[in-house]
Structure 1
């Protein structure tokens, strides 16, 4: 993989933490012809390197940073939620990983960057570019909002999809078939949101004011034991629908398929 990274030739990077992200980072950086030490297990000795990147759980960062500090010119972590109190910079890839991804794993994804000094921030930016990612700035003040956005876009989406699968199963559709049948709808919805935003992309009974259908859906959700989730999502969806109708009113016959 060729990159336009401005990392100095011969830069060494030690990756501490052999979990999913640590393994992928090591693989991709090596593919970019950067010298990588590791990934190092948490019980192994940390080698000296120009950059030591901590790929450990958030709760372990402070303790591992104490051990790693004397081995690094620049010390960083890959957490999106943890501040820079114990490191020089952070690089958080805005993506989910299984640990098996190949050399293009970071190509064109976002990478949140922060640094305690301009030089440390440049290190994070150069690493992001070396990976093929697009660096963008998120400071400590805004970490909670940024990381919550990532959780809504990934973790909570899975919660909603699991509930959709549960309801489809209750309708007599086998699990694997339910996922296959729902997947095209999910993909198109994400594409529409990407292009136009939630208010413009919203369809369905709440968008068209069909409260009778909403009530029947809620009854089905109650039978599946997810009525609290349904109520919370319905309330949030009504707020989105209100933003939409404030711009373009939706008639009762529009977009009735979903």
Structure 2
């Protein structure tokens, strides 16, 4: 069951944010706007004072979580340490809780960018889980629990939906260039198509959103597309073949269910 957008709850009173990257900066702004007293975001070489802090949120690369958590504990901090990794299990990380907004950030977002966004939470104790939920709901995030053994699959789904989509769109842009549509022009022309496709997927599901020559069984058009890519962008041919086959399977599943 997908959680509904919560009413913002009382914020965690004092929070330190470690990491001044793409997530750390907007997260610190959003927590402050939600009513928390926020210190940071602290960069790699900045000293961290945790004496009057209820929670420390680590917005650092996955490989740096354990060392960052150890440094925080060594400072004498006795509160909740929260990491923001989608993939890293809590066990062995040094963190007490997890908070992973299911969104992409550039570092310049305003606080409202968190409102209504899904957020994977976890805690090694009920109290730590409650702290993660309180942080998420104070930001207006839609919290849902993901256990340690589920994290890799959850994060893989996020990567396919976001990171790999960008890679796929880069391939589309490269193919468009072979038709004389370069860079910004290609993106401006393809963007409405991409946006409508994503909206249809969200409302209709994969089978309902699928259109195009593979879906309608137009093999002649698919062969012409493949020949064009083989001629003008041959390095993309393996990707085209994999996507064509996967799209054919999706179309078949839709016909079977229909």
User: Could you tell me the TM-score, scaled by structure 2's length?
Assistant: 0.92
Matched, 1:121 2:136: no
Task: Provide the secondary structure at the position in 2 that maps to 1:197.
Answer: helix
- Name 1:17's counterpart in structure 2: 19
Comparing 95-104 with 66-75, greater Cα deviation is found at: 66-75
User: Could you tell me the TM-score, scaled by structure 1's length?
Assistant: 0.92
Q: 1:228 aligns with which of 235, 238, 245?
A: 238
Tell me the distance in 2 between the aligned counterparts of 1:103 and 1:115. Answer: 24
Q: Deviations over 1:173-230 (max 9, x none)?
A: 1221111111111111111100111111101111111111111111222231200111
Matched, 1:4 2:8: yes
Residues 167 and 220, structure 1, Cα contact 8 Å, conserved in 2: no
Larger relative contact order (Cα-Cα within 8 Å, sequence gap ≥ 6):
2
Q: 1:242 aligns with which of 231, 252, 255?
A: 252
Aligned ranges for residues 93-172 of structure 1 at < 5 Å?
Answer: 93-172=101-180
Q: 2:81 aligns with which of 68, 75, 85?
A: 75
Task: Provide the secondary structure at the position in 2 that maps to 1:208.
Answer: coil
- Name 1:31's counterpart in structure 2: 33
Residues 108 and 132, structure 1, Cα contact 8 Å, conserved in 2: yes
Q: Which runs of 5+ in 2 are unaligned?
A: 1-6
Tell me the distance in 2 between the aligned counterparts of 1:60 and 1:212. Answer: 52
Residues 13 and 36, structure 1, Cα contact 8 Å, conserved in 2: yes
Q: Deviations over 1:80-111 (max 9, x none)?
A: 00010221000000000011111201010001
Deviation at 1:72? 4.2
Tell me the distance in 2 between the aligned counterparts of 1:162 and 1:220. Answer: 17
Q: How many residues align?
A: 245
Tell me the distance in 2 between the aligned counterparts of 1:141 and 1:202. Answer: 32
Residues 11 and 34, structure 2, Cα contact 8 Å, conserved in 1: no
Residues 8 and 139, structure 2, Cα contact 8 Å, conserved in 1: no
Tell me the distance in 2 between the aligned counterparts of 1:152 and 1:189. Answer: 16
Tell me the distance in 2 between the aligned counterparts of 1:27 and 1:89. Answer: 20
Comparing 174-183 with 50-59, greater Cα deviation is found at: 174-183
Deviation at 1:15? 0.5
Residues 59 and 84, structure 2, Cα contact 8 Å, conserved in 1: yes
Q: Deviations over 1:52-100 (max 9, x none)?
A: 1111000000111111123241011000000102210000000000111
